[in-house]
Structure 1
């Protein structure tokens, strides 16, 4: 496959990112309830909550090395785009940059989680970044013990940092205790806040690309429902052109939820 330019890569990354964001924040998984700045998210079932965190760990992961664009974490791709945007008009990228910075900063913060590890009879005050906690939770949601040895190794390291040296098999045994605490307690508490961040990223992309959509959108006639998009200069690769069409249609439909702010009562712990 031929080399792509920066604009083509950006279009491909943004198309994939929006697909992931829509898989996390949608009416099938959740409802946003409450008034003004005191909203929260309610999942339809515990299974829907689990699906939310599985999709989230994919979003926090790196793109496939065999994809037609360089491998990079999706959030890292958004950061790179917000720093060197191809479609910025009158600083339309500002909201996206702010949303990326806010979520990245929140993920990088280290928290303390008091956890009873009944399988090995240890009470541990685990110190962990929110990013790593969410990665561990998502991976444990997807895989059983024998498919999550890498998670066990991470738990070994976390326990070793606070003075608890355990064998690998012991770290494998505590995964159920860890999942119960991380998923059912910490992640459930932060789910509404994470949904607010994800929705903010989506709106950041929407507002960034809206001027490009206005430039590109071309209806075929006053009474015809058909329309075209005028490709921007420099967009030549056929895969990128298909992604561009999909991307403009994503902008045309817009985010599923309006912007919302979660109550501060769900932001004080962990």
Structure 2
């Protein structure tokens, strides 16, 4: 497979990002409730909430090294695109740039989580970035104890930071305690805020690409509903062309949820 140019890589990343975001933000998974700037997200079931955080850990991870574009975190790809956009018209990328900056800043803030670990009879104030906490929750949602030894090692390091040395087997024992606190308490509390950030990214991509969609979209010119998209000249790779077509269709339909702001009552803790 021939190497892609910058525009082609951007299209591939954006197409993948939009599909991931739509897997987390849809009416089958959740409902947005409330009025004005006092909204919240309600998942259909606990299983739907668990899926949300499994998909989120994929979004916070690296793309596959065997993919036709360089391996990078999805959020990192969005940051790079917002700093050097291929389709910008009249500063149309500014909403995406602001959304990426806001979410990345929130993720990398360190929080304190007072945690009771009955498996080893320990009460401890764990200091952890929201990013790492979400990665731990997503991985524990996907894997049982023997497939999450890497998480146990991470928990060892976190406890070591606050002067609590534990053996690896003890770190494996506390995974259920950690999951109960991190997933059922912290993540449940922040789910609405995370959904707001993700929806902001969706709208950031939408507003960034809207001028390109307007340039590219071409109706058939008859009474049918047929249409086509005019590819940019720099877009030649067949995989990137398919991604571009899919991406333009996503811009055509727009994000699933309108922009929303979550109540401040769900933003004060952790």
TM-score by length of 2: 1.00
What is the CA deviation profile of residues 223-267 of structure 1, one whole-angstrom value per residue up to 9, with x for unaligned ones?
A: 211000000120000000010000000100100000000000000
State the Cα deviation string for residues 41-72 of structure 1 (Å, max 9, x = none). Answer: 00000000000000000000000000000000
Structure-1 separation of matches of 2:16 and 2:230: 21
SS at match of 2:225: coil
Q: Distance in 1 between matches of 2:27 and 2:80?
A: 30
Q: Which secondary structure does the structure 1 equivalent of 2:228 belong to?
A: strand
* Paired residue total: 270
Match of 1:246 in 2: 246
Q: Counterpart in 2 of 1:148? A: 148
* 2:30 alignment partner in structure 1: 30
Superposition misfits of 4+ residues, deviation over 2 angstroms: none
Which position in structure 2 is the counterpart of 1:125?
125
Segments of structure 1 that go 5 or more residues without pairing to the other structure are none
Q: Secondary structure at the match of 1:150?
A: helix
Match of 1:236 in 2: 236
3-state SS, counterpart of residue 31 of structure 2? strand
1:203 aligns with 203
Q: Shift of residue 222 of structure 1? A: 4.2
The residue number in structure 1 matching 2:161 is: 161
In structure 2, the partner of 1:43 is 43
Other-structure match for 1:20: 20
| 1:58-137 matches, cutoff 5 A | 58-137=58-137
Deviation of 1:160 (Å): 0.2
Question: 1:248 and 1:169 mapped to 2: Cα distance?
Answer: 50
CA distance in 2, matches of 1:33, 1:119: 37
Q: Tell me the equivalent position of 2:216.
A: 216
Point out where structure 2 has 5 or more consecutive residues left out of the alignment. Answer: none
SS of aligned partner of 2:262: coil
